[in-house]
Structure 1
Amino acid sequence: MNNTKRREILTRLRDANPHPTTELNFTTPFELLVAVTLSAQATDVGVNKATAKLFPVANTPQAIADLGVDGLKEYIKTIGLYNAKAENVHKLSKIIVEKHNGEVPESREALEALPGVGRKTANVVLNTAFGWPTIAVDTHIFRVSNRTKFAMGKNVDRVEEKLLKVVPKEFKVDVHHWLILHGRYTCIARKPRCGSCIIEDLCEFKEKTEI
């Protein structure tokens, strides 16, 4: 795919959704960090249901630390892998209190040093909480990038590397959300909804559907 096509795709996605954001509910960088950590192999809807009960009770690193692992589990037990996630969220909360004065660090290195926080989670926090032009490649972005031929790669790291290279600066902060939402609702895994897609004529997927 050439850069003229890519720019037109991004322009259309921007026109359709000028101010995209995550579907995870949060009001602070710490709430976002917790929500993203809980969202691994879970739906945003499921995470939001759990945090709707958790955050009114504990939504700061100190409050989560005080809640304890078992206390935290009670609020997130509806989420997959909740035992391991409770351990990680409790540990990272204590580290943020002890090493970062209770504030989520605006540093990739510091974020990735936290338990349960990998590159993808760090990218989401840096992008959504702090406005960095990072691109967290999840299954949706990986699929859309390869299927449309927008930024092809054999794994998420290669796709991230390609996206950072080909996406113009003016689109970089929001492209993460546009591609996720496009993959979640239009370019879905089993059968993409090409017939209702605003970039169908630009996409280079050969087996288009009429849906």
Structure 2
Amino acid sequence: MNAADRATFFQRLAEIDPDPKTELAYASPFELLVAVTLSAQATDVGVNKATKRLFPVANTPEQILALGEEGLKRYIKTIGLFNSKAKNVIAACRILVEEHNGEVPQNREALEALPGVGRKTANVILNTAFGQPTMAVDTHIFRVANRTGLAPGKTVLAVEKALLKRVPEPYLLNAHHWLILHGRYTCKARKPLCGQCPVVDLCRWPGRRKVLQEGSS
């Protein structure tokens, strides 16, 4: 996909959704950190159900430490891998209290030093909580970037670097959310909705023609 098509690609997504947001419910950088940590191999809907019960009771590192690991598990036991996630959240909260005065750090190195926080989670926090132009490449973004020809890459890191280089600067801050939502609801893995896609004419995926033909038959 050339530069002009990439600009048109994001212009159209921006026209449809001028102010895209994460579907995780949060009211502070710390709540977002917890929600994103819990979201690994889980749905945003499932995480939101758990944090809707948790956050009114404990939504600071100090309060979650007071719950303890077993106490935290009672609120998140409906989420997959809740045992290991509870352990990581408690350990992260301890570091936040002891080393960061209970505040979520605004730099990648400090974020990635927290248990349960990898590069993707750090990118989400930096972008969504702190407005930094990062690109958290999940399965949806990886698929969209490769399938459409927007920013092909064989690894998550390669796609991340390609997107940061190729996404036009005016769209970079929100590109993460646009691409996730596009992959989640339109450019789906098994049954992409090419007939409803606002950027199908820009897409480089050979299979789109077959999908469009099947939809019109």
**Normalised by the size of structure 1, how large is the TM-score?**
0.99
1:19-47: CA deviations, max 9, x gaps?
00100000000000000000000000000
Q: Who is 2:92 aligned against?
A: 92
1:32-90: CA deviations, max 9, x gaps?
00000000000000000000000000000000111100000000000000000000001
CA contact (8 A) 2:108 2:126 kept: yes
Alignment-mate amino acid for residue 152 of structure 1: P
Alignment-mate amino acid for residue 53 of structure 1: R
SS of the residue aligned with 2:15?
A: helix
1:172-207: CA deviations, max 9, x gaps?
110000000000000001010000000011111111
SS of the residue aligned with 1:103?
A: coil
Q: Who is 1:57 aligned against?
A: 57
Q: Who is 1:157 aligned against?
A: 157
RMSD, aligned CA? 0.6
Q: Who is 1:109 aligned against?
A: 109
Distance 1:173 1:65 in 2: 33
Alignment-mate amino acid for residue 113 of structure 2: A
Distance 1:15 1:98 in 2: 44
CA contact (8 A) 2:39 2:47 kept: yes
> How far off is 1:100 after superposition?
0.4
Q: Who is 2:135 aligned against?
A: 135
**Normalised by the size of structure 2, how large is the TM-score?**
0.96
> How far off is 1:169 after superposition?
1.3
CA contact (8 A) 2:37 2:85 kept: yes
Counterparts in 2 of 1:115-130, with a 5 A limit? Answer: 115-130=115-130
Alignment-mate amino acid for residue 113 of structure 1: A
SS of the residue aligned with 2:202?
A: coil
1:109-139: CA deviations, max 9, x gaps?
0000000000000000000000000000000
Q: Who is 2:81 aligned against?
A: 81
Structure 1 residue runs of 4+, over 4 Å off?
Answer: none
Q: For structure 2, which runs of at least 5 residues remain unmatched after alignment?
A: none
Structure 1 position 8 matched with structure 2 position 4: no
Distance 1:107 1:190 in 2: 36
> How far off is 1:168 after superposition?
1.5
CA contact (8 A) 2:26 2:35 kept: yes
Q: Who is 1:204 aligned against?
A: 204
Percent pairwise identity: 65
SS of the residue aligned with 1:52?
A: helix
> How far off is 1:149 after superposition?
0.6
Distance 1:17 1:100 in 2: 35
Alignment-mate amino acid for residue 26 of structure 1: Y
Distance 1:79 1:52 in 2: 13
Q: Who is 1:67 aligned against?
A: 67
CA contact (8 A) 2:35 2:51 kept: yes
